[in-house]
Amino acid sequence: MSIPRPACASALLVLALAAPLPRTLGEGPKPPALARVVVSADRTHFVLDGSDRRFLLWGVNYDHDDAGRLLEDYWADEWDAVVEDFREIKDLGANVVRVHLQTGKFLKSAVEADEVNLKRLAELVKLAEATGLYLDLTGLGCYHKQDVPAWYDALDESARWDAQVTFWKAVAGACKGSPAVFCYDLMNEPVLTGGKDPESWLVGEPLGGKYFVQRITTDMKGRKDREVAAAWIRRLTTAIKEVDDRTLITVGVIPWAQVFKGAKPLFHDPEVGRPLDFVAVHFYPKAGKLDETLEALKVYEVGKPLVIEEIFPLGASLEETETFIERSKQHVDGWITFYWGKTAAECEKVGDIPHAITAAWLKRFRTLAPAESRAEIGVP
Q: How confident is the model at residue 372 (pLDDT cuts 50, 70, 90)?
A: confident
Q: Supply the pLDDT for residue 66.
A: 66
Tell me, what's the pLDDT at 30? Answer: 59
**Span 365-380, average pLDDT:** 71
Using a 10 angstrom Cβ sphere, with 0-12 exposed, 13-18 middle and 19 or more buried, the burial of residue 104 is: buried
Structural domains in the chain, CATH included, are: 48-246+313-323+341-373 (3.20.20)
Distance, in Å, from the CA atom of 255 to the CA atom of 276, rounded to the nearest integer, reads 17
Which pLDDT does position 224 carry in this prediction? Answer: 96
Closest CA to 127 of 168, 71, 80, 169: 80
Q: Estimate the crossing angle of helix 353-368 against helix 318-328, to 10 degrees.
A: 30
Q: What is the largest CA-CA distance in the chain?
A: 60
Q: What share of the chain is helix, strand, coil (3-state, %, to 5)?
A: 35, 20, 45
Share of the chain above pLDDT 90, in %: 77
Which residue in 131, 181, 140, 142 sits closest to 164, CA to CA? Answer: 140
* Band of pLDDT at residue 176, cut at 50, 70 and 90: very high
Query: What are 5-61's pLDDT values in tens digits?
Result: 433 332 222 222 223 333 344 444 555 689 999 999 999 999 999 999 999 999 999
Neighbouring residues of 120: CB distance < 8 A, sequence distance ≥ 6:
15, 16, 17, 75, 76
> What pLDDT is recorded for position 22?
37
pLDDT band with cut points at 50, 70 and 90 for residue 116: very high
- H helices of 260-312, in order, are 290-298
Distance CA 322, CA 314 (A): 12
CB 122 within 8 A of CB 135: no
> Cα separations (Å) of 325 from 288, 295, 328?
15, 13, 5
| Three-class secondary structure assignment of 311-377 | CCCCECCHHHHHHHHHHHCCCCCEEEEECCCCCHHHHHHHCCHHHHHHHHHHHHHHHHCCHHHCCCC
Cβ atoms of 56 and 333 within 8 Å: the answer is yes
The predicted-structure confidence for 132-173, as pLDDT tens digits, reads as follows 999 999 999 999 999 999 999 999 999 999 999 999 999 999
Tallying the residues shown for the chain, one arrives at 380
Compute the distance between CA of residue 97 and CA of residue 132 in angstroms, rounded to an integer: 11
Q: What is the pLDDT of residue 240?
A: 98
Is the pLDDT assigned to residue 333 strictly greater than 70? yes
**CA-to-CA distance for 168 and 342, rounded, in angstroms?**
31
Interval 191-218: pLDDT, tens? 998 767 888 999 988 888 899 999 999 9
Decide the pairing of beta strands 279-282 and 306-310. parallel
SS3 176: coil
